[in-house]
Amino acid sequence: MRKYAILKEPFSLGKYEDCVKVMIHETEFGVYVYLYTTTDEYQGNIFDEWYENLEIAEKYTEEYGVIETDWIELPDSLPDVFPNIIAPVRWKHDENGEPNKNEYEALVDGVWVDFTFD
C-alpha cells in the first residue's frame, strides 16, 4: 500500500527546507514514511523513517498536519521501480535485462522511455 498527502503548511526538517509532501509505503517489513521538498511525481524523497506498523506511521504524519481525508491512494509499485517515487521510474535495463545504475527510465503511456532527474 502506498499513499501520499500534500501538506497544508510546509515545514523545515534540519537542513531540508520547505517539506511539502509526505508518502507512506507499507511493506511486509514495516512502513516507510518519505518526506519531499517538491510535489513533482517524478522526484524522490529527501528524508525517510521506518516504523513497525501503519498506525504508528500515520500517527507520525499527524505531526505535520495530515488528516485521514488528506491521503491520496496510490497503486502498489511495479517490480524494479523506486517505491519512493510516485511515477514509475527505474534504472534503465540493458539488452540482457540487467539494470544500469547510471541511467534511468520512466513508464510513460505504457512504454519505458529515457529519463533524467532535474
Render pLDDT for 66-116 as a digit per residue (tens, 0 to 9): 999 999 999 988 988 999 999 999 999 888 988 888 899 999 999 999 999
- Name residue 7's amino acid: L
Query: Among residues 70, 74, 71, which one has the least CA distance to residue 82?
Result: 74
- Per-residue pLDDT at 84: 92
pLDDT mean over 48-59: 96
pLDDT mean over 8-36: 90
Residue 106: all three cell numbers together: 520512466
- What is the Cα–Cα distance from 106 to 113, expressed in whole angstroms? 5
Q: Which residues touch 66 (CB under 8 Å, ≥6 apart)?
A: 5, 7, 22, 58
Residue 117: pLDDT band with limits 50, 70, 90? confident
Kind plus residue range of the DSSP H or E element containing 55: helix 54-62
